[in-house]
Chain A
Amino acid sequence: MSEAEYEAVMGLEVHVELATATKLFCGCVNEFGSEPNTNICPVCLGLPGSLPVLNEKVVEFALRIGEAFHFDVPERSIFHRKNYFYPDMPKDFQTSQYDSPICADGYLEVDGVRIGIERAHMEEDTGKTTHVGGGGRIHDADHSNVDYNRAGVPLMEIVSRPEMHTAEQAKGYVSELRGILEAIGVSDVKMEEGSMRVDANVSIRPVGSDTLGTRAEIKNMNSLRSLGRAIEYEISRQVELVESGGRVVQETRHWDESAGITHGMRSKEGSEDYRYFPEPDLVPVAPTDAMRATARAAIGELPAARRERMVAQWGISETDARTLVESPGLAEFADATVAAGAPGKDVTNWLSGEVLAYLNETGLSLAVLPLTPGKLAELCTLVSDGTLSRNLAKDVLGECLREPKDPKAVVAERGLAQVNDEGELGALVDAVLAGNAETIEEYRNGDDKLRKKKRGFLMGEVMKASKGSGNPQVLNRLLDERLN
Chain B
Amino acid sequence: MSGAPETALDIAASVRSGERSARSVVDDHLATIAARDGEIHACNAVLDDQARAAADAIDAAVARGEDPGPLAGVPVALKDNLCTRGIPTTCSSRILEGWLPPYTATVVQRVTDAGGIPIAKTNLDEFAMGSSTENSAFGVTRNPRDLTRVSGGSSGGSAAAVAAGYAPLALGSDTGGSIRQPAALCGVVGVKPTYGLVSRYGLIAFASSLDQIGPFANTVDDAALMLETIWGHDPMDSTSITGAPAPLAGGADVAGLRIGIVEELTDVEGIAPEVRAAVGRAASALEAAGATVDRVSVPSCTYGLSAYYLIAPAEASSNLARYDGVRYGLRVDGEDVADMNARTRAAGFGPEVKRRIMLGTYALSAGYYDAYYGKAQKVRTLIIRDFAAAYERFDVLLSPTAPTEAFPIGEKTADPLAMYLSDVCTIPTNLAGHAAMTVPFGVGGEGLPVGVQVLAPALGEPVMFRAARALEAAAPR
Could you list which residues of chain A lie within 8 angstroms of chain B, going by C-beta atoms?
Answer: 42, 45-54, 81, 83, 85, 87, 90-93, 138, 144, 146, 273, 275-277, 280-283
Contacts and interface: CB of A to CB of B under 8 A. Distances in A.
Interface in B142-181: none
Given A275-B318, A282-B239, 8 more contacts: A48-B322, A49-B101, A51-B200, A85-B321, A87-B324, A90-B327, A92-B321, A281-B208
B322 A83 contact: no
A87 B91 CA distance: 22
11 contacts: A45-B327, A47-B328, A48-B101, A49-B202, A51-B200, A85-B321, A85-B341, A144-B337, A273-B366, A277-B373, A280-B315
A48 B211 CA distance: 14
A85 B339 CA distance: 12
A52 B239 CA distance: 10
Given A280-B315, A281-B208, A283-B239, A49 B83 contact: yes
A91 B324 CA distance: 9
B381 interface: no
Given A83-B321, A85-B341, A90-B322, A275 B361 contact: yes
Given A273-B366, A280-B209, A281-B208, A81 B238 contact: no
Interface string B188-219: 00000000000011111101110000000000
B88 to A, nearest CB: 12
Nearest to B210: A280
A81 B327 contact: no
Nearest to B205: A49
Contacts of B364: 83, 275-277
Contacts of B267: none
Contacts of B81: 49
B470 interface: no
B28 interface: no
Nearest to A83: B318
A50 B369 CA distance: 27
A298 B315 CA distance: 39
Interface string B35-74: 0000000000000000000000000000000000000000
Contact of A49 (B105, B327, B366, B369): B105
Contacts of A53: 235-238
A146 B325 CA distance: 13
B93 to A, nearest CB: 10
A50 B338 CA distance: 25
Pairs A-B, 4 closest by C-beta atoms: A92-B321, A275-B364, A280-B209, A280-B208
Contacts of A138: 337
Contacts of A51: 200-201, 236-239
B89 A48 contact: yes
Interface string B323-334: 010111000000
A436 B205 CA distance: 101
A92 B324 contact: yes
A86 to B, nearest CB: 8
A90 B318 CA distance: 12
A52 B238 CA distance: 7
B322 A282 contact: no
Contacts of B324: 85, 87, 92
B110 to A, nearest CB: 15
A281 B89 CA distance: 21
Q: Considering residues B105, B209, B322, B338, which has the most beta carbons from chain A within 10 angstroms of its beta carbon?
A: B322
Interface string B310-351: 000011011001101011100000000110010000000000
B238 A42 contact: no
A79 to B, nearest CB: 10
